[in-house]
Chain A
Amino acid sequence: MASQAIIFRETNDSKGFYILLALLGALLALGALAFFTAEHHGHHITGMNNQVVWGLPHVFAIFLIVAASGALNVGSIGTVFGKKLYQPMGRLSALLAISLLVGGLIVLVLDLGHPDRLIVAMTTYNFKSIFAWNIILYNGFLALSAVYIWTMMDRKVKKFYKLAGVAAFTWRLILTAGTGSIFGFLVARDFYNSAVMAPLFIVMSFALGLSVFILVLHFAYAWTGRQLGDVVMNRLRYLLAVFIGGVLLLEGARHFTGLYIAQKAGVEHFILFEGGLYTQLFWVGQIMLGSLLPLSLIFCRKLTNNRIALLLAALFTILGGFAQLYVILIGGQAYPLTLFPDADVSSDYFDGVLNTYVPSIWELMLGMGGVALTLVMVTIGVKVLRFLPDSLSDAVADPHSK
């Protein structure tokens, strides 16, 4: 069995480790500065307003949260579906999942009007709110992922490995459905109120989580001088293609439905054809650069076994996912609410007009702080505990590959 030959080892002490931490630490400090500045002055220093109430921090937060549940997939494929090739990557998969979720939640929490009242959110629940359920789902995900790691690292609890893996996998599906439903349950906004948001977010998490995993795996091995073979990376490569295809399928279903239903046609036309930045982000960012380009990089025969092509595919998938979330979140809010169908409305408070949103530097700093926290957790995690296999060369990962 391949996994028996795997030896896990902490990463070595090196100058690169500290340089990386210093860089990420600087981003963390900028994120903290943004938080304290907004906390002191109030949200008027941000680009968010009473028309576009969720902004760039939420794009970052939801990206990280969605990617978190997807990052766990690599482990789940090994544990739940018994694919041995994936099993050595299970520990990193769960560590990355926890780190991404914490990074996303910190952005979400620090953007609250009252982050000091987090204890209220943790103790006072309105169970009709999908947001309240998400708070429970996030905490449960962190706990289950930690237990999952425990069963992979401690032989004494090895017998619970499968159980923990199945539980974490089931939980993550519910979690991402819950995240999508934050939008799906918004009755009054035609761009959101659809049950497809739940499965869309699940399949987005597959693609985004795997992309982040591919990049982290590659650089973790490249920067520590460990071997990472094509067998593993090619498996991840084609899996990524399947997930990108899944996102395109559900996005197609969502937008065609929107065009078909007269009530939603207005906002669909806005996003797809007349929305300026949002239209460009959709077609150029999400579809061309974020989906078709990665698929081309994956399936181009001349690029078989080309690591750079795979890394670029993962990177562009991430950028495409970011563009997609920006279009969903900001584009969906930019389009005005419908108070009276078939009527033009106007007021001194931006009724009937396209809402503008220009993100501030503070929001970008806060979002990047969340990304930095994720990477700091992974960097320190693989340094102090045995998350990474010593080698994932083709001979180790799959002795029968050649």
Chain B
Amino acid sequence: MSQNRVDEYRRNFITALGGAAAVVAVAPTLLLREAHAAGEVAAKPADQAVTNAKRWGMLIDVTKLTDGGAGMVAACKKEHGWGDEAHSSPEQQAHWARVVKVTDKLTHNSFSLPVMCQHCENPPCVDVCPTGASMKRADGIVQVNKHTCIGCRYCMMACPYKARSFVHEALQDQKPHSPRGMGTVESCNMCVHRIDNGQLPACVEAAPDAVVFGDLNDPNSAVSQAMKTIGGKQIRADLELNTGVRYHGI
């Protein structure tokens, strides 16, 4: 079922990507993408180690996000259960993703985009972590090992995107697939539990017309092809972190 859903998102995205003329112009490419989309997010057997054959990433077309990404953020919150910490102040509550409105100071051109962990190839949070709890999986997913995080928050100081949150209180009724813990740091993990299960991340599923997800290492994957066609910008590209989350329209 999930695979059909993946294909459906690809098709929706492709359809929405451009006008009729653009579709005609890139039709061969899109057909190729259709062919390779199948099996892109295949389930990983639990006894099989993660390899670096794939690097997961996504392209978010903010021009297609009518809500600026609020739906994606809501889906993330629902999937992982963050942000309802009763005793924490608004500044202390966890935020794995948020909608940021950007207005250029000179041109006053404005747009909104969802900002979460950018899953950098060279993540500063991984570099600075003293215990190695902040880690990058072989397939490019950056996440926190909750068993070895000592709660020093150095990764939060290092992250350019304010993508990480510290849990300031004891938590109740957690999601079994997304364990969290007081005194540890957490962030978007690209819905690693879903990817390993052959599903798309929750935020991607929430915005099928605007987001393409897939293997950045495969030049023929839907996400690679989409980026080749419309580009994929990084936030703070000057830091040369080579982010796995890319944007169109920023």
Query: Which A residues fall within an 8 A CB radius of B?
Result: 41-44, 48-54, 112-115, 117-118, 120-121, 124-126, 128-132, 134-135, 182, 185-189, 333, 337-340, 342-351, 355-356
Contacts and interface: CB of A to CB of B under 8 A. Distances in A.
Contacts of B102: 339-340, 343-345
Interface in B172-186: 182-185
B91 A50 contact: yes
B89 A346 contact: no
Nearest to B115: A339
Contacts of B42: none
A125 B91 contact: no
B120 to A, nearest CB: 11
A130 B129 CA distance: 9
Contacts of A51: 91, 162
A342 B106 contact: yes
A160 B91 CA distance: 54
Given A51-B91, A118-B150, A113 B99 contact: no
B94 interface: yes
B236 interface: yes
Nearest to B164: A50
Given A42-B87, A42-B183, A344-B103, A53 B127 contact: no
Interface size class of B (residues with CB under 8 A): 35 or more
Interface string B72-98: 000000000000010111111111001
Contacts of B148: 117, 120, 124
A351 to B, nearest CB: 5
Q: Is the interface of B mostly helix, strand, loop or mixed?
A: loop
Contact of A188 (B95, B98, B159): B159
Nearest to A339: B235
B239 A53 contact: no
30 contacts: A42-B170, A42-B182, A42-B183, A43-B183, A49-B92, A50-B92, A50-B156, A50-B162, A54-B157, A112-B152, A113-B149, A114-B149, A125-B131, A126-B129, A126-B131, A131-B128, A185-B127, A186-B158, A187-B158, A188-B159, A188-B236, A188-B239, A339-B102, A339-B235, A340-B250, A348-B98, A349-B162, A351-B100, A351-B162, A355-B91
A54 B155 CA distance: 11
B89 A44 contact: yes
Contacts of B55: none
A186 B153 CA distance: 13
B221 to A, nearest CB: 27
B151 interface: yes
Given A112-B151, A346-B100, 16 more contacts: A41-B169, A49-B88, A114-B150, A114-B151, A117-B150, A117-B151, A121-B150, A126-B126, A182-B154, A185-B127, A185-B158, A186-B128, A188-B236, A338-B236, A343-B104, A350-B90
Interface in B99-125: 99-106, 115, 124
B149 A129 contact: no
Contacts of A356: 91
A161 B223 CA distance: 65
A53 B157 contact: yes
A191 to B, nearest CB: 11
A343 B89 CA distance: 27
B11 interface: no
A337 B183 CA distance: 23
Ranked nearest first, the 6 interchain pairs of A and B with the lowest CB-CB distance are A113-B151, A113-B183, A188-B160, A49-B91, A44-B168, A131-B130
B143 interface: no
A44 B130 contact: no
A132 to B, nearest CB: 4
B182 A130 contact: no
A349 B93 CA distance: 9
A358 to B, nearest CB: 10
B93 A50 contact: yes
B166 interface: yes
A343 B160 CA distance: 16
B132 interface: yes
Contact of A129 (B89, B129, B159): B129
B135 to A, nearest CB: 9
Contacts of A348: 98-99
Contacts of A350: 90-91
Given A114-B150, A120-B150, A347-B100, A50 B95 contact: yes
Nearest to A42: B169
B167 interface: yes
A331 to B, nearest CB: 14
Contacts of B154: 129, 131, 182
A49 B127 contact: no
Contacts of B88: 44, 49
B189 interface: no
A182 B157 CA distance: 10
A343 B101 CA distance: 10
Contacts of B183: 42-43, 112-114
Contact of B101 (A118, A333, A347): A347
A49 to B, nearest CB: 4
Contacts of A128: 126-127
A186 B166 contact: no
B131 A124 contact: yes
A329 B73 CA distance: 31
Nearest to A189: B157
Contacts of A340: 102, 235, 250
A113 B182 contact: yes
Contact of A114 (B165, B184, B236): B184
A356 B158 CA distance: 19
